[in-house]
Chain A
Amino acid sequence: MSEGVIPLQAYLIVAALMFALGAWGVTIRRNAVVVFMCVELMINAVNLTLVAFSDYLPKAHGAGSGYAVVVIAIAAAEVAVGLAIVIAVFRTRRTVNIDEIDSMKG
């Protein structure tokens, strides 16, 4: 168990802010690449909470860190796929502005 002077709440608050910032970005930024980066931000906020809990909850036996590693791996895969989609969209529509891509409109 760590004897860190930084309390758990501090980690959580930082993570919440990161998450909120990411969510904010996902909802309002137009550039698809930036949106992806914001998604990464949200994912990393979650990773931060996982690692923090893993450190502060002895009974978890470090499970949170394991989850964080899995999440990072998935995020990497997701970005690979996501960027491929963005490139494909750019090739067909000559734009990566996410609000112009609304062909699923009902």
Chain B
Amino acid sequence: MNTAGSQLIIAAIVGLPFMSFLACVFLGRRLKENAQYVSILAVTISLVFSIFALLWVAGVLPASGGQISFSVPWIGLGEDATFPMGVQIGHWTAVMLVIVCFVSLMVQLFSGGYMAGHPRFAWYYAVVSIFTGSMLGLVVSPNFIQAYFFWELVGGTSYLIHGFYFERPAATYAAQKAFIVNRVADAALFIGIMVFWRETGTTSFSGIAEAAKAGIIGQTALTIGLLLVLLGATGKSAQFPLHVWLSNAMQGPTPLSALIHAAAMIVTGVYVISRTYDIFVQSPTAMEVVAIVGAFTAFMAATMALVQKDIKQIIAYSTISQFGYVMLGLGVGAFTAGVFHIYTHALFKSLLFLLAANLGYAVAGSSDMRVMGGLKSRMPVTYWAFVVAGLALAGVFPFSGFWSKDAVIASAYEEGHYVLFALALLTVGLTAFYIFRGIFICFHGEPRSEDARKASEVPVIMRVPVVILAFLSVVAGWVGIPRGFGLPVKDVFGDFVRPDRFVQSVTHATPGLFSFVLAGISVLFALIGLFLAYVFVLARPQWAEALGRRLPVVHDFLLNGWYFDLCYDRLFVRPAKALGRAVRDFDLREVGGLVGGFGRGAGWAGEKLRSLQTGGAQNYALFILFGAFVVAVVASAQYSFIAVIVLVAFGLAAAAVGSRL
């Protein structure tokens, strides 16, 4: 993989979306709706090249196999501090490249219909392009500095997405909230990178891992650095305690949410953990924290999703929850299971969001479930795709989510994290409940609004990606059917995306874990959740109302996301505002007063000194003489008696002049 041509191809994977971004920005006015073809062409070529990279690392192409790796010097700050910009593509990276390009392509195809006629159509595609490019750049990064660069770019462009409809105050608020919460995480990540750099003198992933293996970096410093990286990841992946921005961030165009949730932005956090996994496994404490944060987040976000009134909110909380699973998997040492869940999640989550976009398209731009209902017969394609995505999300056999989620849960059990295992299992039930509650409310029963009564199926261009993704949501998991399941199929994914030998020796986790009992229990939980959703929404809706009336505290607690926003408001926002006000008052009163005082003092002194300007030349001559006299006195103090005489003479002279003026 050293020829210039092949390197160019790999670089083009990242470069093309950026070029498309520039084209859409600078030629947007002229391109108008044709911007989509530029952007789609770029991402399609990226996808093809990504598949090429995948085949290369898989060893399918002639003279291939192993890693793709090259770099160029980027920033040089002397001998010990040169930061290269480069590409390093291993097995998992190659898969991720394909996922990102594929989801982006689906979203862009879909958006052509969804955004049709919007005045900022070209800008929309510009945003999608740069967002995709940033994510791809992050995915191929071989070191923390480059990763951080693209990490920030992803975060920055997400600001553009959340604030796309900047006419709405809620959208600008959401954009700012996401931006600020992510700044906290980014700062943590940056400090983490600095810790690694100080300790090891390198920022490359492999370099740090080697340094840790060799014991160059101490266990304490390693753990601190990793926890900071983890905090960064909790911000981007919306994990506890920095998940609060995600539920607000539903203000952007819905298809873009599909991209954010399935292939970019929110994936960045868990992806970076999986990318630096050979560093993570060397700190048991950090791994433990990852697992706990993951399991807790999965459970917490699932409870929040139970009572939401907006379908997009449900799906958003579901993302938080599902990435909790990924973190849990990575934390307990099940690398393959964790990243497998990223892969399957990308497909069914992007599908869910595109379907939510379908609903919004059909029902006057709203995603509020209180205006839906009875859409099953009016939008059959959307409905059945939604059911498929829901089953995949809930982890029902044999949909894709089942295989990955079950591998995570089984690993948690196998590694002896029984509490986390129980939380994960409980979350399966909750997941099935919330997603089918949403489906039942939206599609069954009577239409609850005039718009819902008039709704019809979406255009073909929007149906195509949906159907493709629905198909993949069913079958995509089958590439990772674990060994021991009894079927004569290979665990292709598990064989391909495998942690390196070193990680295997540290984690002990058996890849491709599977147990019929655990799988059965987890599917049972999912079915119970599904059944309860059916009971509470369709069969006995009055029970749900009664429950809500009986337990209003719990209902509000869940609806308001465990009051995290309130807590943060009290803990951080208000003190910060109070501090800001105090500083402003200090500035106005003390600093402003001081400055104003100086000004007024100068004015007052000038007013007083004015009377010295008599305009009389003789008067001035007197001052000059007096000044010369003072100088003379200072210079020759011993003749002070002369000085006294002259002074008296001046006094008389001054009196004579003064009496005339």
Binding site for B on A (CB under 8 A): 20, 23-24, 26-28, 30, 35, 98-99, 101-106
Contact = CB atoms under 8 A, between A and B. Distances in A.
Contacts of B614: 102, 105-106
A99 B616 contact: yes
Contact of B615 (A23, A28, A30, A106): A106
A104 B661 CA distance: 14
Given A99-B616, A101-B617, A106 B653 contact: no
Contact of A28 (B611, B617, B656): B656
Given A23-B621, A106-B611, 4 more contacts: A24-B653, A26-B621, A27-B653, A106-B614
Contact of B657 (A27, A104, A106): A27
Interface in B164-194: none
Interface string B27-52: 00000000000000000000000000
A20 B618 contact: no
Nearest to A23: B625
A25 B2 CA distance: 100
A28 B658 CA distance: 10
B616 A106 contact: no
Given A20-B649, A24-B653, A28-B657, A105 B613 contact: yes
B198 to A, nearest CB: 65
Interface of B: 610-618, 621-622, 625, 646, 649, 653-654, 656-657, 660-661
Shortest beta-carbon contacts, A-B, top 4? A106-B613, A102-B615, A105-B615, A104-B615
Contacts of B660: 30, 99
Given A106-B610, A106-B611, A106-B612, A99 B618 contact: yes
Contacts of A105: 613-616
A65 to B, nearest CB: 24
B661 A99 contact: yes
Nearest to A35: B618
A48 to B, nearest CB: 18
Contacts, number: 51
A28 B654 CA distance: 8
Most buried by A among B615, B649, B660: B615
B616 to A, nearest CB: 5
Main secondary structure of the interface of B (DSSP, over half): helix
Contact of A27 (B610, B621, B646, B661): B621
A27 B651 CA distance: 11
Contacts of A102: 614-616
Main secondary structure of the interface of A (DSSP, over half): helix
Given A24-B649, A27-B622, A27-B625, A104 B613 contact: yes
Most buried by B among A35, A99, A104: A99
A20 B621 CA distance: 13
Contacts of A98: 616-618
Contacts of B625: 23, 27
A58 B621 CA distance: 35
7 contacts: A20-B646, A27-B621, A27-B622, A27-B654, A99-B657, A106-B610, A106-B615
Contacts of A24: 649, 653
Contacts of B661: 99
Nearest to A28: B656
Contacts of B656: 27-28
Contacts of A101: 615-617
B603 to A, nearest CB: 14
B556 to A, nearest CB: 74
A28 B651 CA distance: 12
A102 B660 CA distance: 13
B622 to A, nearest CB: 5
A100 to B, nearest CB: 9
B115 to A, nearest CB: 72
Contacts of B617: 35, 98, 101
Contacts of A30: 660
Given A20-B649, A23-B625, A28-B656, A103 B618 contact: no
A98 to B, nearest CB: 6
Nearest to A26: B621
Contacts of B610: 106
Contacts of A103: 615
A98 B616 CA distance: 7
Contacts of A20: 646, 649
A28 B659 CA distance: 11
Most buried by A among B610, B617, B656, B660: B617
B641 to A, nearest CB: 14
A23 B617 CA distance: 13
A26 B618 contact: yes
A3 B164 CA distance: 104
A101 B615 CA distance: 7
Contacts of A26: 618, 621
Contacts of B649: 20, 24
A91 B600 CA distance: 42
Nearest to B653: A27
Nearest to B628: A23
B480 to A, nearest CB: 92
A28 B649 CA distance: 12
A12 to B, nearest CB: 12
Contacts of B611: 106
A105 B617 CA distance: 10
